[in-house]
Structure 1
Amino acid sequence: MPNVEDIGRRRCIPIIHTRGTHYEVGFDVGRTFRGLIQNFVGISKPLNQVFIPLYNTEAGRRVYETTLKSVRSNFPQYVRELEGTAEGAQVPFYKLFLLHMDDILPNAIHGKGKNDGTGCSTIVCNQPGHEILGHTEDALPEVLNHIYLVSAHITPESPQGRWKVSEEKYTSLCYAGHLPGFTMGYNHHGLVFSVNVLNAAKLVPGKTPRHFLTRALLGAETFVDVQQILQDTGCGSGDAVSINLTFLNQEGDRMFHNAEVGPALGQTNQSNLNILNISPGESIFHCNKFLRLPVEEAEGLGVTSSNHRHDTHQQLSQANTKQGVIKVLGDQSDNKWPIYREGHGEDFVKTVAVGIFDVVEKTWELYTENPKISSPVVVLPLELKSNN
């Protein structure tokens, strides 16, 4: 049998349909994808070479416990969901929570940020008859083939967490062992969104990791809810992220939005937030660097790659259709720092999936190969609450 790391790109994205409480849904996800989760936890280089060694120090454990206490206070239901995933997958909870803290722990200990080149590209096309949100999911090489879709209907016994959401129904692409919401997905209220990581130079322990903010977005009913979740007043984000979004059902002209979220530094208790509106006839291309928010950025391969991807986009024809979006997201004209990434040379990051949300047709196409030269693995209908 081939080594799991040497099986090439699989034309496969498994999906689970599950219903229950947050813990029950998490447990079903963990049990169903136990093999993928256990394998990913075993091969994740950041987890095993950086996060766990720091966790095993006194200072690292304090950072971990401070952050977990904050998240458990504000989002207890998502901690229970992650506990369910850990127990279903039979992996230690602390390892999954460390993945969700991401670079907060090493940043807090070493006092500097990393920018290793991981991160995605998103293009929004808001043209008459062509309302598209396209996204490359770019990650470390070990993430390849360690993804799945979660389609969940969560009905808690009572509203929980700071926003008191009483019901959640969504479909999200997930990394193995990670909460839904961190890549791309949609909910039954019509919120469609994708996520780009941003790398701030200074991160904050004891605040909300971006993984939990994006998980909370899956419960948002309105654009006001989205802003409230990202602002996270009373705590604030511990790291940085960019969200590209729209609501399928909205009055008036189609509007897309890009939100840049920066960490709550110093004595502030809310995220640094900037939102750009993309009106009809406009478009935006966003990678893994701040375009508007005045936040000090961690220098590194992520900025280099983002600069090259932005330059490539500028040189390409305007993406005014779905095919135009696909052409951009599949572009490899920059041999060293392409938009569709194969993990060659200095740019070791791989594009593990591509998603195309067609807001007019209400479909979500998912690819595991370059969309310019392949067909989608699946085309999902965007099912809304009004259609249930």
Structure 2
Amino acid sequence: MERRNSIPIIYARGNHYEVGYDVGRTFASLIQKFLEICSTLNEEFIPAYNTPAGKKAYEDTLRSVKDNFPQYVRELEGTADGAQVPFYKLFLLHLDRITTVAAEIENKILPVGCSTICLNQDEQEILGHTEDAISENLNLYYFVSAHIIADKPQGKWGITEEKFTSLCYPGHLPGYTMSYNHHGLIVSINTLSATFVRAGKTPRHFLTRALLSAENFSQAVQILKDPGCGAGDGCSVNLKFVKENDRLFYNIEIGPVVGDDMSQLNMALASPGENLIHCNRYLRLSIPEESGPMRDSSDARLKVLKKYTKPLKKSDVIEMLSDQTDSKYTVFQDTNIKTIAVGIFDCREKTWSIYSDKAKENEPLIVLPLVFKE
């Protein structure tokens, strides 16, 4: 498909169900279209769900999430109702490989993106990110800018208010791509594919959704640790609290829980004068990973990015995230896997620039101000 220079946005306020419903109602055509054409859903997740083992993994995980994060289940139910689509299909998207592994169905289609650079230099503090997805996602994404107000504390962390803006895939909860919240959090996510995943634990999509409520770094870490349950699968979280004065960027690798009802975490940080680069491999946690294009692509992209002279400014990050020099696995991807958007958070200017095409050759489609709580 031809790339469109268009990203729709919804501004919504209400409780979790109401915001989810308005997202679903507003983007019903995009959500319905995506469910129709999504190969992983229709060729892998639904067949897995229709097996006894896959259905049990689904039910065990849904029960766990309802216990710990009922407000986000209601939010997703609202999206399903608003879009007039079955809830189970949306929840399967959030389980990813959890049902297919349980059903022993081979995942032929694995994610192979994204790439993130955190630059922490004297005059520049930048988080740059390529949002990579299967080609079916091209032109099928939108912004959700939400102010959620609950009448009583919600879920295991007692949340009463959330205010954030997030780039979203159709029918997905906010939080799993690029986002910021009114407490000063900026964040991007890299998918990681551990060989083992856990049913009955918290899917990564729900952990990153919960992350949008974090008021400070210690809260963010506690949310990702998820004590008492732990992650069912893995990802890498790149974050910074812009309002804090420590000037630190963090990369947090998250692994599925092993034995102690808490996510495996490993943190790296970039102090002033340092940078961080992360793709889609575990660089520090010793966790077995799925082989194939995802590992190969991540290794190739990381190798290319590390060949560059140390980036010192925003234009260096844009150059690196536009790289297509590798013969097979490029940083800016445009084959069956596509970079559907590029985001540049500028912590000094307090802006978030979004590009729908290669950043070094195009102007940003939109530059959003980062609006924080006083």
Interval containing the TM-score (normalised by the shorter chain): over 0.9
Instruction: Please give the residue correspondences for 1:53-202 in structure 2 after superposition, counting only pairs within 5 Å.
Output: 53-110=47-104, 116-202=110-196
Report the equivalent of 1:311. Answer: 303
Query: In the alignment, does 2:332 pair up with 1:325?
Result: no
Distance (whole Å) between structure 1 residues aligned to residue 115 and residue 324 of structure 2: 13
Q: Structure 2 counterpart of 1:73, which letter? A: D
SS at match of 2:287: coil
- Structure 1 range deviating more: 80-89 or 311-320: 311-320
Flag structure 1 segments of 5+ consecutive residues without an equivalent. 1-5
Instruction: Please give the residue correspondences for 1:22-37 in structure 2 after superposition, counting only pairs within 5 Å.
Output: 22-37=16-31
Distance (whole Å) between structure 2 residues aligned to residue 279 and residue 132 of structure 1: 13
Query: Are 2:112 and 2:298, in contact at CA under 8 Å, matched by a contact in 1?
Result: no
SS at match of 1:78: helix
SS at match of 2:361: coil
SS at match of 2:151: coil
Distance (whole Å) between structure 1 residues aligned to residue 70 and residue 288 of structure 2: 31
Query: In the alignment, does 2:349 pair up with 1:355?
Result: no
Q: Structure 1 counterpart of 2:187, which letter? A: F
Query: Are 1:112 and 1:202, in contact at CA under 8 Å, matched by a contact in 2?
Result: no
SS at match of 1:154: strand
Query: In the alignment, does 2:363 pair up with 1:370?
Result: no
Q: Structure 2 counterpart of 1:263, which letter? A: P
One of 44, 53, 56 as aligned partner of 1:50: 44
Report the equivalent of 1:3. Answer: none
Query: Are 1:353 and 1:366, in contact at CA under 8 Å, matched by a contact in 2?
Result: yes
Query: Are 2:44 and 2:107, in contact at CA under 8 Å, matched by a contact in 1?
Result: no
Report the equivalent of 1:209. Answer: 203
Distance (whole Å) between structure 2 residues aligned to residue 291 and residue 161 of structure 1: 32
Query: Are 1:114 and 1:199, in contact at CA under 8 Å, matched by a contact in 2?
Result: no
Aligned-residue offset at 1:113 = 7.0
SS at match of 1:385: coil
Aligned-residue offset at 1:119 = 2.0
Distance 1:61 1:259, change over 3 A: same
TM-score normalised by length of structure 2: 0.98
Q: Structure 2 counterpart of 1:198, which letter? A: L
Distance (whole Å) between structure 2 residues aligned to residue 232 and residue 203 of structure 1: 16
Q: CA RMSD in A?
A: 1.2
Aligned-residue offset at 1:107 = 1.4
Distance (whole Å) between structure 1 residues aligned to residue 105 and residue 36 of structure 2: 27
SS at match of 2:331: coil
Aligned-residue offset at 1:53 = 1.1
Query: Are 1:113 and 1:202, in contact at CA under 8 Å, matched by a contact in 2?
Result: no
Distance (whole Å) between structure 1 residues aligned to residue 260 and residue 35 of structure 2: 34
Distance (whole Å) between structure 2 residues aligned to residue 49 and residue 316 of structure 1: 39
Q: Structure 1 counterpart of 2:261, which letter? A: N
TM-score normalised by length of structure 1: 0.95
Query: Are 2:181 and 2:372, in contact at CA under 8 Å, matched by a contact in 1?
Result: yes
Aligned-residue offset at 1:319 = 1.4
Distance (whole Å) between structure 1 residues aligned to residue 189 and residue 53 of structure 2: 30
Aligned-residue offset at 1:317 = 2.3
Aligned-residue offset at 1:117 = 4.4
Query: In the alignment, does 2:256 pair up with 1:263?
Result: yes
Report the equivalent of 1:292. Answer: 284
